[in-house]
Amino acid sequence: MPEISNISTTSARDRLGRAMRDLRVSVTDRCNFRCVYCMPKEVIGKDYQFLERKEILSFEEIARAAGIFHALGIEKIRLTGGEPLVRRNIEQLIKMLSAIPGLDLTLTTNGSLLKQKARALKDAGLTRVTVSLDSLDDAVFRRMNDVDFPVARVLEGIETAAAVGLAPVKINMVVKRGENEQSTLPMARHFRGSGHVLRFIEYMDVGHTNGWRMDDVVTAREIVSMIDAEAPLEPIDPNYHGEVAERWRYRDGSGEIGVIASVTQAFCRDCTRIRLSTDGKLFTCLFATAGHDLRSLLRSGATDSEIQSTILGIWQRRTDRYSEIRTANTATLRKIEMSYIGG
């Protein structure tokens, strides 16, 4: 394999001075849920045309790209989807990626297959896991995933993941007004003192099929106030520069929560993320309207150094700050769907 150029990672900064530190890799555009805020059944129904196998990156292509990104300063890779655990033999990819020294390797899942796969994921080298869970109320959860999947099986997956060492488990709850805001306090109560970290996410305007409206957003301030009134909280420092979640801990020492407020408290100025889609396109923002074709380079005989230079050039031209400039004018942009680009 051609050697990667010895480019200083200090060069991997965009026009706003932001470093490239986190890579999100969407390993599949398929999912076994039809969550109302991500892959609504009305749009992604039985006849929906997912990517063909030849269009998606192979494990070897993903691993090669990961090595190139790592040389540019990437410290953390998160596997996403769709639902990454529906990608056949995902453990094989994790094993390949875990061979990259010093890499923090994580995965975000809806938890539906986690109980069955947790041990294999850990053995393959996965570091941690994040589970999307929007309610403990079974009726609410089934309505939101829209495939009648029971919440109990997701909870079993969380506990199995923790038992095999994929801990602490992070749980992400997207809060949408009129859907599940009444589940906020029960979720906080359930995970308080559990050792897991619950994070509340403002309902975001990713893509264009979820019918997003600002009126549907339960703000981070509302969420923190709601919990603080019952169990007093205090702010704590981020774990690292560029962490998206604002951290709060219970004053009695029983754990912490996080709030991700990309709508009301934009954190674009610290964003260190770049995204690789299932079919090999690079996106420099979650709210992007277009990507850059990396797959063609991977399949055309380009050397690692040439691919590295291309990635570096893309990042150095980056000026994205969608959440800071969100206005009525940006609402109609035809943005890439979350199920395609990953969360």
Record the tokens describing residue 328, joined without a space: 């009525």
Burial readout 99-130 (b: 16 or more C-beta within 10 A, e: otherwise):
ebeebebbbbbbbbbbbebbbebbebbbbbbb
Q: What are phi and psi of 199, to 5 degrees?
A: -125, 130
Least confident of 27-41, 208-222, 224-238, 248-262: 208-222
Q: How far apart are CA 214 and CA 69, in angstroms?
A: 35
Least confident of 3-17, 32-46, 79-93, 294-308: 3-17
Domain ranges for the chain, please list them: 11-341
Least confident of 59-63, 113-117, 240-244, 252-256: 240-244
Nearest to 120 by CA among 90, 79, 155, 100: 90
Burial, 164: exposed, middle or buried (Cβ in 10 Å; 0-12, 13-18, 19+)?
middle
* Residue indicated by tokens 């509340």: 200
Record the tokens describing residue 259, joined without a space: 């709030």
Task: Look up residue 204 and give its DSSP letter.
Answer: -
Angle at 256 between CA 236 and CA 263, to 5 degrees: 75
Say what the pLDDT of residue 20 is. Answer: 95
Say what the pLDDT of residue 339 is. Answer: 66
Q: How far apart are CA 15 and CA 31, in angstroms?
A: 35
Nearest-10 Cα torsion for 147, 120, 283, 64 = -150
Would you say residue 205 has pLDDT above 80?
no
The mean pLDDT of 305-319, rounded to a whole number, is: 95
The mean pLDDT of 242-265, rounded to a whole number, is: 89
User: How sure is the predictor about 286, in pLDDT bands with cuts at 50, 70 and 90?
Assistant: confident
Q: How far apart are CA 167 and CA 250, in angstroms?
A: 20
Q: Tell me the residue length of the chain.
A: 343
Question: Domain spanning 11-341: which CATH class is it, in words?
Answer: alpha beta
The mean pLDDT of 151-160, rounded to a whole number, is: 98
Residue 336, Cβ neighbours under 10 Å: how many?
23
Would you say residue 18 has pLDDT above 80?
yes
Say what the pLDDT of residue 1 is. Answer: 43
The mean pLDDT of 101-124, rounded to a whole number, is: 97
